[in-house]
A and B are shown apart, each in its own frame.
Chain A
Amino acid sequence: MRYGFYIGICLFLLIIQTAIFPYIPVMRGMYDLLIPFVIFISICLPIRESLPFALVLGLIMDNLSGSPFGFYLTFYFWLFMGVRFIIKFLRVSNKFFLSVVVIVAALVENILMIAIFAFLGPVRQLPINAFPVITQQFLWVLAAGPIFLLSLLALAKRLNIQWDGAAPPPNAYG
């Protein structure tokens, strides 16, 4: 049941990012929807289950995107490890904390991408559309990122998904 939920969510997010949103003009500037999901599994699942999941998601995103191979694999790995490190010191049940993590993660992903363009790419030059792309993604993640993560947690709670991860069970989030 639990693994079916995770795989279903992953497929849903991948499909809407690649087969639906690109055809809706206002949605083309959407941030990476898998960021809240990686944060969700890093909080709520044991590392032996969630880390391979995050790595496989990164591999799939690298395959579907034209980004340098390994970018999403690397980013999701460090996002996962970063969140697990932070939750040792901060209360996970704090909704404000979760919101900030999602927003910061989306910004860091874009900054890393720009750093790759500027320092590692074949043409060391900032993209001409860097500012509009980052602005659109930032506005989307501000508006929808925290809501999406909290919805994932609420949905998991409604489906009575059993947790044995690093964080308190979902009813702690209210």
Chain B
Amino acid sequence: MFSKKMFLIVGVIILITVNVILLSFSSKSQSTFGLGRVGLSLVSPFQELVTRSIRFARDIWEHYFSLVSVAHENENLKKSLNQFVAKSNQWHEIDLANARLRNLLNFQKAPTNKVVAAEVIGKDPSGWFKTIIIDKGKSDGLKKGLSVVLPAGIVGQVIETTSHYSKVMLVIDRNSAVDALVQRSRARGIIKGESADQCRFEFVLRKHDVQIGDTVIASGLDGVYPKGLRIGRVADISQRNADIFYEIAVAPFVDYEKLEEVLVIIPPQTPEVSR
């Protein structure tokens, strides 16, 4: 009744439909159906070997063949260090005063987070997405959802872990969203990834005061990134007449093209409250 060709055509149509449905589901939910660790476990050891070899060769070059500029750079760094030592002392004084005042008001001391340093061993092979592979995993205390930072600012979030390696989605990735606020005016919005050197700061109401040059920090309200971590600087603001929100471009503080080491913040485990 039905020819072999007809069965083949129907089979192909069904297969394409199933493909589209599965891709639609996985693109919205970031789910890997439990198979997300296979490639990481297989390939990451080789990535780590190659990356370390390249860095070793580069370090030899920089240490032994680039000494000409080192002396000049050393002088500049010493001057910067002296300035920062002075500032650090001022901040230490402010920190002590803060602790005294909090003590007076009976504020409980927030538990400190544990920080694990990790090396970047690989990057996303596709030009469309911004993820990195780091050389720390479950055996080091990492799990999905942890924040990854640098002293300069936020880097991203752990989205997949194996025993010894993890995949991190950068803040500049299209699927990334960070609850943030303007440090000066406390205007709140969502930072969304756009490209290597720019993020969008969305849902910032036009009634708030936002200026070019303002620093944007994490609000801590998304439960992922600790409050106060720097994200970027407002680079451009535009307002469409019919919109209640600004269109804000933010230039990240972190240079994502040159990531080599990152820090993963592991929050303290909160004790269960017995009823």
Contacts and interface: CB of A to CB of B under 8 A. Distances in A.
Interface stretch (B47-55, B107-115, B222-230): B47-55
Contacts, number: 139
B35 A63 contact: yes
A90 interface: no
A162 interface: no
Contact of B127 (A11, A64, A128, A133): A133
A18 to B, nearest CB: 4
Given A63-B38, A66-B131, A70-B22, A14 B125 contact: yes
A112 to B, nearest CB: 9
B129 A66 contact: yes
A20 interface: yes
Contacts of B255: none
A104 B138 CA distance: 41
B31 interface: yes
Interface in A81-138: 113, 116-117, 120-123, 127-129, 133, 136-137
Given A120-B24, A120-B27, A128-B195, A69 B39 contact: no
A74 B40 contact: no
B23 A70 contact: yes
B27 A63 contact: no
B43 interface: yes
A61 interface: yes
A62 B30 CA distance: 11
A160 interface: no
A62 B39 contact: yes
B35 A32 contact: no
Contact of A11 (B20, B46, B128, B133): B46
- Among A32, A117, A127, A136, the one with the most B-chain Cβ atoms within 10 Å of its Cβ is A127
A120 B23 contact: yes
Contact of B125 (A64, A122, A133): A64
Contact of A128 (B30, B46, B51, B194): B194
A59 B174 contact: no
Interface in B71-87: none
A116 B42 contact: no
A19 interface: yes
Interface in A1-55: 11, 14-15, 17-20, 22-23, 25, 28-30, 32
B47 A59 contact: no
Contacts of B46: 11, 14-15, 19
A40 B99 CA distance: 66
Given A122-B175, A128-B194, A65 B36 contact: no
A68 B26 contact: yes
A148 interface: no
A71 interface: yes
A151 interface: no
B121 interface: yes
A20 B46 CA distance: 12
B27 A18 contact: no
A30 B124 CA distance: 12
Nearest to B52: A19
A18 B122 CA distance: 5
B43 A64 contact: yes
B43 A18 contact: yes
Nearest to A120: B24
Contacts of A28: 127
| Shortest Cβ-Cβ A-B pairs, 5 listed | A63-B39, A66-B129, A68-B27, A60-B39, A66-B131
Interface of B: 19-20, 22-24, 26-28, 30-33, 35-40, 42-43, 46-47, 50-51, 54, 121-131, 133, 159-160, 167, 169, 173-175, 192, 194-195, 257
Given A60-B42, A133-B128, 5 more contacts: A15-B47, A18-B125, A25-B257, A32-B126, A70-B19
27 contacts: A11-B46, A18-B123, A18-B124, A19-B50, A19-B123, A29-B127, A59-B38, A63-B32, A63-B35, A63-B160, A64-B124, A65-B124, A65-B126, A66-B173, A68-B26, A68-B27, A70-B22, A71-B26, A74-B22, A120-B27, A122-B27, A123-B174, A127-B128, A127-B174, A128-B195, A129-B195, A137-B127
